[in-house]
Amino acid sequence: MRQTALALLLALSLAACKSNKIETRATEEAQPIGLASTIEMGNAKAAGQLVSGFHGIEDNAWRWTERQFAVTLAAPAKATQNGGVLKLRVSVPPVTIEKLKSITLTAAINGTDLAPETYSQPGQMVYQRDVLASLLTADKVTVNFRLDKAIPPGGGDLRELGIIVVSAALEAK
């Protein structure tokens, strides 16, 4: 009887351990591996989070974009309750203003547009917008950016040129 009870206890313990391992594995799989909530464009490792519309790294610090570009960022902790803040550090080069006069940047998350911003002067800026918690329900978020216009390929450069991006971040509120 004592051996039977001991064997049963051992079997239940092993089942509990096996059950915990399965839960741990499922939790680990749900977390995006290596996904950052802040990426620097000069970091070659960030390329995996650049979905579309980015050109190569320049000066080890930044990238030109096309008219439409997208990035995937990890959602910050507690973003599902408090929301977050999207920050895109950009530079609007003088050539962009000379050729286009102004340029308007808009971001969208899950099909919801965030307020646009128009730049009519060259310089470094931060496109910063609050993001509702309802848009941050997943572990990762793809942010789609669009410009109202871009410099078309020409003059020896075969790339469409929008703005220069230095970093992208999704921070907790």
Q: What is the CATH number of the domain that holds 164?
A: 2.60.120.260
Lowest-confidence region among 21-25, 67-71, 105-109, 120-124: 21-25
Residues 90 and 111 in one domain: yes
Say yes or no: 15 and 82 in one domain. Answer: no
Residues 76 and 48 grouped into a single domain? yes
Cα distance between the two ends of the chain: 60
Tens of pLDDT, residues 6-26 = 333 333 333 333 333 333 233
Q: Give the residue from 48, 28, 26, 64 showing the smallest Cα distance to 158.
A: 64
Q: Answer yes or no: do 23 and 52 share one domain.
A: no
Number of structural domains the chain divides into: 2
User: How many other β-carbons are positioned within 10 Å of the β-carbon of residue 76?
Assistant: 21
pLDDT, tens digit, for every residue of 27-68?
A: 333 334 579 999 999 999 999 999 999 999 999 999 999 999
Residues 71, 147: one domain? yes
121 & 57 share domain = yes
What gap in Å lies between CA 66 and CA 160, rounded to an integer?
Answer: 5
Residues 124 and 162 in one domain: yes
- Give dist(CA 57, CA 124) in Å, integer: 17
Two tokens, residue 148: 């109202």
Query: What residues make up the domain containing 12?
Result: 1-30
Cα angle for residues 115, 127, 30 (degrees, 5° grid): 85
Beta-ladder partners of 65: 54
Q: 55 with 101, same domain?
A: yes
Same domain flag for 8 and 81: no
